[in-house]
Amino acid sequence: MIKQKTSRPSFPLAMAGDGEMVRIVSFRHGRNFQERLLSMGIQLDDVVKVQQRRDKGAVVISKENTRYALGGGMALKIHVIKET
């Protein structure tokens, strides 16, 4: 697990609601998973907006002017905190 230090409890990205701004704080799988996300432009400490949440945890998120569609399995492995 690759993790950033935070005092707030994190939760899977798949549980974030539509329109929420969240900060990525950990990846719940190994180096290959992190490298796959990095190749897409997603990394630890990124603030993303949940554009749409679908059945089974799939989400569409946006970062700056780019949108990413993530399946439920991926969204469950990415842990976030609410951005205040």
Q: How far is it, in rounded angstroms, from Cα 59 to Cα 39?
A: 18
pLDDT digit string (tens) for 47-69?
999 999 988 889 999 999 999 99
Whether 21 has a pLDDT exceeding 80, the answer reads yes
For the segment 1-30, the average pLDDT, to the nearest whole number, is: 84
**pLDDT for res 28:** 85
Give residue for tokens 């469950």: 76
Give residue for tokens 């976030």: 80
CA angle 51, 57, 59 (to 5 degrees): 25
